[in-house]
Amino acid sequence: MKIMLGLLNLGGGEIILILAIVLILFGAKKLPELAKGLGQGIKEFKKATDHASEGLREAVAQSAPTAPRRLPPATASSPAPECAVSQAPPEGLSSHQNQQP
C-alpha cells in the first residue's frame, strides 16, 4: 500500500478527504461491499500478472539460446568493383583510339 501511495504522491490529508467523499457518496452500509469488491479485484489482477509473468518466463526458458553471429572483418586489400581504378590502355593503343566517336 505504501508503494501505491508513494506513486500517487498523496499525503494524509488527501487520503482522508477521498475517504470522506467515498463515505458520503456510497454510505456506511455499502463501504464493506465496495472494499470487498476492490480487494477481490486487486487479488485477481495480481493473479493474472503472476500468470502472465510465469508464461513469459517459460517461453524464454524454452527458446533455444542462440549465439550472436559475427561478420568477418572487412579487408582493405580487395576494393569493391565500383571503386576499382581503371587501368592504362593496352600497348599499341593510344588513349585517343579508345574513345568512341
Q: What is the pLDDT of residues 26-38, one digit of tens each?
A: 888 888 898 899 8
Specify the amino acid at residue 86: S
Look at residue 24 and tell me whether its pLDDT is greater than 70.
yes
Report the residue count for the chain. Answer: 101
**31 and 23 in contact (C-beta within 8 Å)?**
yes
Look at residue 98 and tell me whether its pLDDT is greater than 80.
no
Helix axes 12-26, 31-62, angle to 10 degrees: 120
Q: What are the structural domains of the chain? A: 2-61 (1.20.5)
Q: What is the mean pLDDT of residues 56-85?
A: 71
Look at residue 92 and tell me whether its pLDDT is greater than 80.
no
Q: Which residue's entry shows cell 477481490?
A: 40
What's the pLDDT score for residue 50?
Answer: 93
Please choose, from the candidates 6, 33, 8, 32, the residue with its C-alpha nearest in 3D space to the C-alpha of residue 18.
Answer: 8
Q: What is the mean pLDDT of residues 55-77?
A: 78
